[in-house]
């Protein structure tokens, strides 16, 4: 998959950049997977969690069996079973009875070590988290699980001592610091490659605030402004116009 797959807005020529949070995630994920443990990455919307985790998982050993599960609404344990059935590409019809379903999933998970990426984990309630714990605790399975979620994820998980006491690594994802912005944004997109560092700092203070999704949106509007005005380089007037679209 190309890096562009993970871009929020369709942003031609954008690159994945190595932030400090991404480097930490890489180490944490590889240690979690090696230990067949569970970890939790949590932090604000748009800070780059999903992109970082997908990038790091692709860099794991080629033989590692990674399955992605993304929740969009509050699932019941039943819904979690169905999601896992789909994520594991199991053949046939999903079993009707919970006990039969559990047996099927445990048998499939006993086949080989696997890694689950559970994104948008702030949607999970106690029952859903408990189901993951149940599968992970089963001696025949060799599961590593990476829970990724918004700020609320940490709170929800903390309320589940059975699961949270089993979390091997917690990583709080934070926004880019002003210093990091000056280092990574010029590498993120050609629009910023030859921009004046003062203009990048200005854009961060006024609009993006170290939030990567905001930087991606700002970059898209800045590209448009460059094309429309025929200018070759970012300036403050042009940036103000781009900010006006983000307010
Ligand atoms: N390391 C990076 N390099 C390049 N672009 C990045 C990077 N991290 C994030 N982005 C950009 O920021 C956007 C938002 O990142 P991402 O979707 O990973 O945030 P998130 O923390 O998962 O947010 P949410 O909690 O809303 O799911 C990405 O789609 C991408 O455009
Ligand atoms: Mg995300």
Taking the C-alpha atoms of residue 218 and residue 215, their distance in angstroms, rounded to an integer, is 5
2 DSSP 8-state letter = -
Taking the C-alpha atoms of residue 153 and residue 8, their distance in angstroms, rounded to an integer, is 21
Query: Where a domain ends, among 117, 152, 173?
Result: 173
Considering the domain architecture, whether residues 216 and 94 belong to the same structural domain is answered as no
Cα 124 off chain centre by = 16
Domain assignment of residue 2, yes or no = no
Mutate to test the pocket of ligand 1, among 213, 215, 222 (most ligand atoms within 8 A of CB): 213
CA dihedral 172, 175, 178, 179 (to 10 degrees): 50
Mutate to test the pocket of ligand 1, among 13, 16, 50 (most ligand atoms within 8 A of CB): 50
Contact 196, 213 (CB under 8 A): no
Considering the domain architecture, whether residues 87 and 36 belong to the same structural domain is answered as yes
Number of domains comprising the chain: 2
Domain with residue 162: its CATH number is: 3.40.50.300
Q: How far is the CA of 120 from the centre of ligand 2 (A)?
A: 6
Sheet holding 167-173, edge to edge: 65-70, 114-119, 143-149, 38-43, 167-173
Q: Which residue range is the domain that position 161 belongs to?
A: 7-173
pLDDT of 105: 97
Query: Where a domain ends, among 140, 173, 206?
Result: 173
Q: CA angle, 223 as apex, 219 and 227 as ends, to 5°?
A: 170
Considering the domain architecture, whether residues 15 and 31 belong to the same structural domain is answered as yes
Query: Where a domain ends, among 148, 173, 198?
Result: 173
pLDDT, tens only, 151-182: 888 998 999 999 999 999 999 999 999 999 99
pLDDT of 9: 53
pLDDT, tens only, 78-131: 999 999 999 999 999 999 999 999 999 999 999 999 999 999 999 998 899 999
């Amino acid at each position: 998959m190309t890096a562009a797959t993970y871009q929020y807005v369709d942003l031609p020529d954008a690159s994945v950049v190595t932030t400090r949070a991404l480097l930490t995630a890489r180490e944490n994920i590889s240690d979690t997977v090696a230990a067949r443990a569970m970890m939790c990455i949590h932090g604000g919307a748009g800070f780059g969690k999903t992109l970082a985790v997908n990038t790091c998982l692709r860099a794991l050993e080629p033989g590692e069996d990674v399955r992605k599960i993304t929740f969009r609404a509050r699932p019941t344990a039943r819904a979690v079973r169905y999601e896992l059935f789909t994520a594991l590409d199991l053949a046939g019809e999903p079993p009707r009875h919970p006990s039969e379903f559990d047996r099927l999933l445990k048998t499939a998970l006993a086949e080989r070590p696997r890694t689950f990426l559970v994104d948008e984990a702030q949607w999970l309630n106690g029952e859903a988290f408990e189901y993951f714990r149940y599968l992970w605790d089963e001696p025949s399975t060799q599961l590593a699980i990476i829970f990724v979620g918004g700020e609320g994820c940490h709170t929800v998980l903390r309320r589940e001592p059975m699961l949270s006491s089993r979390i091997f690594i917690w990583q709080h994802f934070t926004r880019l610091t002003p210093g990091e912005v000056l280092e990574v944004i010029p590498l993120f997109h050609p629009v910023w490659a030859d921009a004046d560092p003062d203009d990048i700092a200005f854009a961060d203070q006024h609009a993006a605030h170290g939030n990567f999704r905001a930087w991606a949106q700002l970059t898209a509007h800045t590209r448009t402004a460059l094309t429309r005005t025929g200018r070759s380089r970012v300036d403050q007037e042009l940036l103000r116009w781009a900010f006006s679209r983000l307010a």
